[in-house]
Structure 1
Amino acid sequence: MAIWLWDDGEEAGPLAESLAMREEDGARRMALSGRIDTQAAAALWARLMAEARKPGAPLLIDLAGVEAVDTTGATLLLTAQSAAQGSRIEGASPGVVAVLDRVRDALAAPRPAVVARRFAPLSGLGRRVVGALNGGVEALAFLGETLVVALGTLIRPGRLRVRELLRHLDEAGTRAFGLAALLGALLGVILAFQSAIPLRQFGAEIFVPSLVGISLLRELGPLMAGVVLAGRTGSAYAAELGTMTVNEEVAALRIMGIDPMALLVLPRVLAGVLVMPVLSLLLTLAGLAGMALIMQLLGFQLNTVAQQLVNFVSLKDLLGGLFKASVFGLAIAIIGCRAGMGAGRGPRAVGDAATSAVVGGIVAIVVLDGIFAVLFERLGL
């Protein structure tokens, strides 16, 4: 096993063949041999620097027996040389000398200036505002481009890829039916239970069907369907288009003279608009079924529940909810496609695009739902 030996014969470690110190012609000669790599330098550093800093005779670092050094070993040798006044390195092979010269030049190069971080909340706020405005302008431009492509497709229906539209209808709608039905049934059960508890104190449990029915038709049905669409479909749109953007497939389509808005974006947007009313209706019906089950458990007959729904729920509630669902689907699809088409470069681009699509879609449907609530109240709907 290879070892280091100090001048006192102490065994220092198994990382090099030898390290010996001896006095010679009024100088201290430090003879090294073997390979001085990162592992060896880590073990040698403390002892070599202690020897280099000892006052007295100058230090001669003899590298005649050194086979090779890496940048860490060269840094150790040069640091030891600079620490000992009047020291020098000798006996190194041409390869070792070349490494020492490169590391010496690197150590002598000026260090990059350290830029102090300034606490500037006003400029940071300004950058965020400008970034948000630029993002809003880009989103508005994307919306306008989508509208132009949709109007152009009305004039030339052949531009629409029907097969692609059917595929997205299946992925966004048919495959989400199970999740929408399960979520709606659980929502109806929860609403019925939670509504019956306070109404029971006033003997008004009979009004639970009307409360749950109006809530599902006007608000919760479209809103929860929008959450399902944003989580499943909006993120899928962003991930798929983001991958194509990162792989420069979208740029290749433009080079070939194919409009990616008509080929990639329009079928997805149409699928989102068409599938959302169906998902909302399915979720609402499943919620009403769950509510009816709870009412039966509470001792009410199905015909009583149906009569309450007929008395308090009108057609305008259903149509208003389906209209809101269509607008939610349009917003979610456009936000998802915009996030995918605007994806950046790098390994995080697709993940960031999917996250932006989900967050943006949920925020958009909540804001739109608030706008619709105020608008419908003002219009008396």
Structure 2
Amino acid sequence: MAAGADARIEARDGGAVLAVSGRLDTATAARLWPRAPDPAVTAFDLAGLESVDSAGAVLLLAIAPEAELRGGSEPVRAVIERTRKALAAAPPPGPPPPYHPISSIGRATVGRLRDMQAGIGFLGEAIVTTLRVLTKPRLLRWSDVLRHLDEVGTRAFPLTLLLGFLIGVILAYQSSIPLRRFGAEVFVPNLVGISLLRELGPLLAGVVLAGRTGSAFAAELGTMTVNEEVDALKVMGIDATAMLVLPRLVAATISMPVLALLMNLAGLAGMTLIMGTLGYPWAAVESQLQQWLTLKDLVGGLFKAACFGLVIAGIGCRAGLSAGRGPRAVGDAATAAVVGGIVAIVAMDGVFAVLFFRLGI
């Protein structure tokens, strides 16, 4: 018994009949649900039921999905029948499977292998498309390349200069503290200059590119994937890789050495400012930089920056094109692009460090 409705079991015609009367709405169904009858019900007596909504109909059908409807007004019977058809067409999800550690490890392993397979497929498709463009340059949309050069490079100049200047200031201050104990503050430009040109300049520029541009690539392409625009391009016979991916790869590869160079120059400017406050003129700083820095350091750092840009753009594009269809797809793609890009450039930087050490560069 609940306010607004009454439900009772009656034995009729050799079976259990559930007689319902009153108004069976959402609030009433919520109060009746914990006290739903256990016996098998073969029919519903709806003669006393004044009205019913979808929640009340679901309550009745949860008790006996195949029960016969007896009596009741036409609107009440229509609501119950429509609800029965809806539940049959789309049954509610079942309980989640129990947690099994071995099965979970297996599913995670299979998922990682599939992701690796998809990544290898994307890499192969990008290489094939690049070779096609080399033979047919008209396939590359140069207007898109220029637009992405502006987005990736020109608009990132202020942020890159600011971060580079601050990094130079921080490195100069922090390195001067231990070197002061030995009266070797004059070697601060050597330490900061080599660190920026060989490692920190390309690496920090790559982090800026991954956070600013890699996520933008993933979000843009992810939105196109969710809206099925990429599928529409494929249906029309347009190479989506040549149209969407290749211009971004070219723009990021060209822009990254420029961003790394700006990061280096801004860092050296910040270091020079701090050396001036410590009592060292520009002539002393210039002398140390010319003595210890070589063109090999600069070229090696710019080469790494170009590789970082290519990898970051590729990871961002792949994350966007492999986005799902749900409401969180674009956000997940952007997150995967940023995390994957940063992890990839750090791992690549370690590989380059070992390689340059072995080659004596």
Cα separation, 2, equivalents of 1:153 and 1:222: 28
Partner of 2:296: 316
Is residue 2:250 matched to residue 1:270? yes
The structure with the larger Rg is 1
Partner of 1:141: 121
Is residue 2:24 matched to residue 1:36? yes
CA 62–248 in structure 1, closer or farther in 2 if over 3 Å, else same: closer
Tell me the alpha carbon deviations over residues 253-282 of structure 1, each in whole angstroms, 9 at most, x when there is no partner: 222222111111111100011000000000
Is residue 2:296 matched to residue 1:305? no
Partner SS for 2:51: strand
Partner of 2:308: 328
CA 115–190 in structure 1, closer or farther in 2 if over 3 Å, else same: closer
Cα separation, 2, equivalents of 1:77 and 1:234: 53
Tell me the alpha carbon deviations over residues 152-179 of structure 1, each in whole angstroms, 9 at most, x when there is no partner: 2222222221111100000000000000
Q: Following superposition of structure 1 onto structure 2, how do residues 242-253 of structure 1 map, counting pairs within 5 Å? A: 242-253=222-233
TM-score by length of 1: 0.78
Is residue 2:159 matched to residue 1:190? no
CA 100–164 in structure 1, closer or farther in 2 if over 3 Å, else same: closer
Query: Once the 2 structures are TM-superposed, how far is the Cα of residue 323 of structure 1 from its aligned partner?
Result: 0.4
Query: Once the 2 structures are TM-superposed, how far is the Cα of residue 128 of structure 1 from its aligned partner?
Result: 2.4
Match of 1:127 among 80, 96, 107: 107
CA 302–161 in structure 1, closer or farther in 2 if over 3 Å, else same: same
Partner of 1:212: 192
Tell me the alpha carbon deviations over residues 313-349 of structure 1, each in whole angstroms, 9 at most, x when there is no partner: 1110000000000000110111111111222212222
CA 70–362 in structure 1, closer or farther in 2 if over 3 Å, else same: same
Q: Following superposition of structure 1 onto structure 2, how do residues 354-365 of structure 1 map, counting pairs within 5 Å? A: 354-365=334-345
Cα separation, 2, equivalents of 1:364 and 1:62: 67
Cα separation, 1, equivalents of 2:143 and 2:355: 37
Q: Which moved more, 1:233-242 or 1:253-262?
A: 253-262
Letter in 2 for 1:312: W
Partner of 1:366: 346
Q: Which runs of 4+ in 1 moved over 3 A?
A: 30-33, 40-43, 61-66, 71-80, 89-106, 110-116
8 Å CA contact 2:205–2:263 kept in 1: the answer is yes
Query: Once the 2 structures are TM-superposed, how far is the Cα of residue 142 of structure 1 from its aligned partner?
Result: 1.5
Cα separation, 2, equivalents of 1:90 and 1:331: 69
Is residue 2:359 matched to residue 1:351? no
Alignment RMSD (CA, Å): 3.5
Tell me the alpha carbon deviations over residues 163-216 of structure 1, each in whole angstroms, 9 at most, x when there is no partner: 111000000000000000001001011111111111111111111110000000
Partner SS for 2:326: coil
Partner SS for 1:281: helix
Partner SS for 1:358: helix
Partner SS for 1:264: helix
Partner of 2:40: none
Tell me the alpha carbon deviations over residues 275-318 of structure 1, each in whole angstroms, 9 at most, x when there is no partner: 00000000110001011111111111111111111111111000
Partner of 2:318: 338
Match of 1:163 among 113, 126, 143: 143
Query: Once the 2 structures are TM-superposed, how far is the Cα of residue 112 of structure 1 from its aligned partner?
Result: 8.4
Match of 2:50 among 56, 64, 67: 67
TM-score by length of 2: 0.82
Letter in 1 for 2:112: A
Is residue 2:269 matched to residue 1:289? yes
Query: Once the 2 structures are TM-superposed, how far is the Cα of residue 237 of structure 1 from its aligned partner?
Result: 1.0
Q: Which runs of 5+ in 1 are unaligned?
A: 1-5, 7-11, 20-29, 53-60, 81-88
Partner of 2:206: 226
Partner SS for 1:362: helix
Identity of aligned residues (%): 61
Tell me the alpha carbon deviations over residues 202-246 of structure 1, each in whole angstroms, 9 at most, x when there is no partner: 111111110000000000000000001111111111111111122
Letter in 2 for 1:310: Q
Cα separation, 2, equivalents of 1:281 and 1:71: 66
Letter in 1 for 2:100: F
Query: Once the 2 structures are TM-superposed, how far is the Cα of residue 79 of structure 1 from its aligned partner?
Result: 11
Partner SS for 1:117: coil
Letter in 1 for 2:348: L
